[in-house]
Structure 1
Amino acid sequence: MGHFVHGLEFLLCLFLFLHKGISVYSQGEIQAPNFNVPAVNVTAVSGHTAILPCTIQHVGDRKVAWMDPKLKLLTVSDQRIIVDQRISIERPFTRDWNLHIRQVRRNDSGEYLCQINTQPVKSTKILLIVNEPPIILDHAGDQTVREGETVELWCRVGGEPLPSVTWYRKNKNDHGKATEVIGAAGDGLKIHNISRYCEDDYECVADNGIEPIATQMMTVTVQFAPEVRLLSQKLSQAKGKETILDCTITANPHAYSVWKFRGQELANNAKHGISIYNDDLYTKTLSLRVGNLNDEDFGKYKCYAENIYGSDEESFLLYEFIERRHPQTTSTTERSPLEVDRPPKHRQDEVIYVNNNRKNPVYSTPYWNMNTPYNRLGNADAARGLSVATANRMTPLVTLLSLTVFNALR
């Protein structure tokens, strides 16, 4: 019976040892609980699980508790005290009392206490740092401005640590260029005296080294008054033909454009055909076809464009083309019987001798050098000039007769 009692006492002691951690050492040999691992700071990313380690040796029957930065009791032993289900105690090993915070948030940051209810209380501090990826909290949004104005783009960002902001231009209208950094780093971008060539997509990029980075795209639209251009300002075309008049209009927005003739707007009909072609982002070609030209179609045409910022126009002259025909030339021409041959050219000092009579020389004077036109000759000098002029082509008898009349008049 005595052996049975001793056996029960042994089993009871073993049960108490295993269940309550009673030491088999004497009172003087029981070791006090202690933190055998130095406390370390913990950095976690928002949205992930933060693990705060606490390793204790020789806990015995002592209790282990966790307190948050506000000294609010979170757990006792391995039991959660608060209702926040994100918090739990995980013990991969017997001496581990690790605090797990799932879906950790930035406001979970702070100094946590792992405590042992000894006298006095022993505790170790663990600093939790919760980093957040960058976030775009607010931004300027898309901007529509008039050419020459100033544009201000901005992004308000958040994150831990505070992100840096870089601006990029996408160059969406120039496929030969890649995205480029523009301006200085900062949460604002200002573009002074903006032109149509600055119209683009601009991107605000926030980065603090924690993935993912945050981006925000903003589109800048630049508007301006129309500009009308003609490749030429006049054209000739023959009647019955067809012609096409083109003008280019650069504007933003494209509101109203038309061809006019004699103050009237032209529309598509049997006589006129109007087509519009998109050349690029800002420029369109307004094409006018005029068919079967007649007298009423020739004149001044106007290409006109207008939007909320202004208007512009250019004039184009369409005139008739007339083919020039050169008269045909022949080797012989018929002359009127009344036509008088033009005398040959002679020098003013040329002397004509008649019948080899050197005593009576005759000085010839061409009729086209006289003051009186040839068909109006009537005085003695004119008659003399006519007689001498024709002497070379008339028979000797006529020549002799002319000289006789000449001498008689003298």
Structure 2
Amino acid sequence: MVYISVMRVTQCQFLPGDNAASLDETPVTLIYTEGNTAVLPCQIQNQGDMDVSWFKENYQIIASGNVIVNGDKRISVETKEPGDWNLVIKNVQEEDAKLYICMLQSFPPQEKKFTVHVNTKPKIDKDSLLERYLFKKGEALNITCNVSGYPEPSVKWYAFRTELSTMKEIKELVSSTQMLMFKNLGPTDGGIYGCEAENVVGTDMYEIFLQEVYEPKLSTTKNKFVEKESSVIVLQCEIESNPAADIGWQRNGKLLKTDMDKYSIEVYTEGDFKTVTELTIRDINTLDRGEYQCLARNTIGIDYIKFNVIVELSTTTVKITTRKPTTARLTTEPVPIPEKTTATSTVPTKTQPDNLKKTTTAINYVEGPKTGDSRSHASLVTYSYMYTILLTVFSITLLLVL
């Protein structure tokens, strides 16, 4: 930065009246549009041999006479007519909007000040904003949209909604200031918001996205399974979470791993925040019964859902054929009994009365056999009869039970 003294004392002869060097010191405000050429007119009356210099605010030298000191090639000093010391700035930019001073180095120095405004279209400070804002339900949030531009832009916030009946996007005004404020955020506050700045030169827009974050929410259409042995079971679990969750399956508290012979785990994505996972159990048996869990965890929290698997034993059908019971025939016919051979007594008997003799001789006492083949035969008949009765009772009882 180059500075020069503006208090150069010159020995000059001040002429009376209108012949004295003079500069109209009335301040001037000039407005230019960005990209145009700015001309700051400075006219000296009766300059004589006095120097003219240009400064910008804080008296930083720009030009001494018509020599440009600061090296900006857009700037020049125009002297078309005697006494003209016009400062010319080509392709004027927003940063050129400053205070400029044309100084006649007389004693005392005379100054003419120019306040330059450059009309620029609004420019949103995008570095001060995020593309995505994450929030939890119930939180408060304030977002400021910083904007530059001249004239000063008006700033508004809009929410972009979709009308379900027509599927058209609706631009809804939610704030007429630079500040977008939420006191108690909820799921319906998520979505796209835009900061819009506008002035006579143009507009600028920047969009942000508000997104609710929450712990995983799990659901299923069926969580109890009763299946037979050797069946295949598919347990399905739906997870909705933001941010995305890590997903796993457990059985009786132990993490399951993919085993193509027994277990397989599949994960499907359905949209930005919904995931579906399936656990397939093959060739189930009684060892597979018990409690299974689908778990999901993200940075906000964890959730799980339980599945109960019951395995029924396979039953073997046994066909029981019952024969018609055979009825044993009981006969009343006398069993042949071998006659008993008695020895003839040689002892003389006492003579009985005639009538008693007749009665005695009319009754024959026959004693059944106590040993031998005939007794064995009678026992077999009795056992056969009892066996037949027991078999009949058992058959009837079995039929009633079945």
1:277 deviates by 0.9
TM-score (norm 1): 0.54
Q: What's 1:79 paired with?
A: 66
1:22-33 residue pairs with structure 2 within 5 A? none
1:164 deviates by 2.2
Aligned-partner residue type, residue 117 of structure 2: I
Aligned-partner residue type, residue 250 of structure 2: K
1:191 deviates by 2.4
Q: Would the alpha carbon gap of residues 310 and 105 (structure 1) be closer, same or farther in structure 2, given more than 3 Å must change?
A: closer
1:354-369 residue pairs with structure 2 within 5 A? none
Query: Partners of 1:153 and 1:240 in 2: how far apart?
Result: 60
Deviations 1:70-100 (A, max 9, x none): 6979778x83465454432447899987541
Q: Tell me, what secondary structure is at the counterpart of 2:287?
A: helix
Give the share of equivalent positions with the same residue, in percent: 23
Query: Partners of 1:322 and 1:93 in 2: how far apart?
Result: 114
1:87-236 residue pairs with structure 2 within 5 A? 87-90=75-78, 99-102=87-90, 103-106=92-95, 108-110=97-99, 128-133=116-121, 134-136=123-125, 139-141=128-130, 142-169=132-159, 176=167, 178=169, 180-211=171-202, 213=204, 215-236=205-226
Q: Is the CA contact 1:112–1:128 (under 8 Å) kept in the aligned structure 2?
A: no
The structure having more radius of gyration, on CA atoms, is: 2
Q: Is the CA contact 2:144–2:178 (under 8 Å) kept in the aligned structure 1?
A: yes
Give the root-mean-square deviation of aligned CA atoms.
5.0
Q: Tell me, what secondary structure is at the counterpart of 2:195?
A: strand
Q: Is the CA contact 1:154–1:189 (under 8 Å) kept in the aligned structure 2?
A: yes
Q: Would the alpha carbon gap of residues 149 and 105 (structure 1) be closer, same or farther in structure 2, given more than 3 Å must change?
A: closer
Q: What's 2:296 paired with?
A: 305
Aligned-partner residue type, residue 131 of structure 1: N
Deviations 1:26-58 (A, max 9, x none): xxxxxxxxxxxxx996422356531346799x9
Deviations 1:147-167 (A, max 9, x none): 321222222222322222222
Q: Is the CA contact 2:126–2:206 (under 8 Å) kept in the aligned structure 1?
A: no
Q: Would the alpha carbon gap of residues 228 and 92 (structure 1) be closer, same or farther in structure 2, given more than 3 Å must change?
A: same
Return 5+ residue gaps in structure 1 as ranges. Answer: 1-38, 325-333, 339-410
Q: Tell me, what secondary structure is at the counterpart of 2:125?
A: strand
Query: Partners of 1:97 and 1:44 in 2: how far apart?
Result: 19
Q: What's 2:248 paired with?
A: 258
Q: Is the CA contact 1:253–1:307 (under 8 Å) kept in the aligned structure 2?
A: yes
Query: Partners of 1:100 and 1:40 in 2: how far apart?
Result: 15
Aligned-partner residue type, residue 194 of structure 1: L
Q: Tell me, what secondary structure is at the counterpart of 2:145?
A: strand
Query: Partners of 1:49 and 1:307 in 2: how far apart?
Result: 58
Deviations 1:351-378 (A, max 9, x none): xxxxxxxxxxxxxxxxxxxxxxxxxxxx
Q: Is the CA contact 1:169–1:182 (under 8 Å) kept in the aligned structure 2?
A: yes
Q: Would the alpha carbon gap of residues 337 and 100 (structure 1) be closer, same or farther in structure 2, given more than 3 Å must change?
A: same
- Higher RCO, 1 vs 2 (CA within 8 Å, ≥6 residues apart): 2
1:273-312 residue pairs with structure 2 within 5 A? 273-312=264-303
Q: Would the alpha carbon gap of residues 237 and 199 (structure 1) be closer, same or farther in structure 2, given more than 3 Å must change?
A: same
Query: Partners of 2:288 and 2:231 in 1: how far apart?
Result: 11
1:242 deviates by 1.7
Q: Tell me, what secondary structure is at the counterpart of 1:162?
A: coil
Q: Tell me, what secondary structure is at the counterpart of 1:178?
A: strand
Query: Partners of 2:265 and 2:110 in 1: how far apart?
Result: 92
Q: Is the CA contact 2:124–2:145 (under 8 Å) kept in the aligned structure 1?
A: no
Deviations 1:175-206 (A, max 9, x none): 95637345212222122332345444544333
TM-score (norm 2): 0.54
Q: Which moved more, 1:132-141 or 1:237-246?
A: 132-141
Q: Would the alpha carbon gap of residues 285 and 178 (structure 1) be closer, same or farther in structure 2, given more than 3 Å must change?
A: same
Query: Partners of 1:305 and 1:198 in 2: how far apart?
Result: 25
Q: Is the CA contact 2:249–2:255 (under 8 Å) kept in the aligned structure 1?
A: yes
Query: Partners of 2:305 and 2:114 in 1: how far apart?
Result: 79
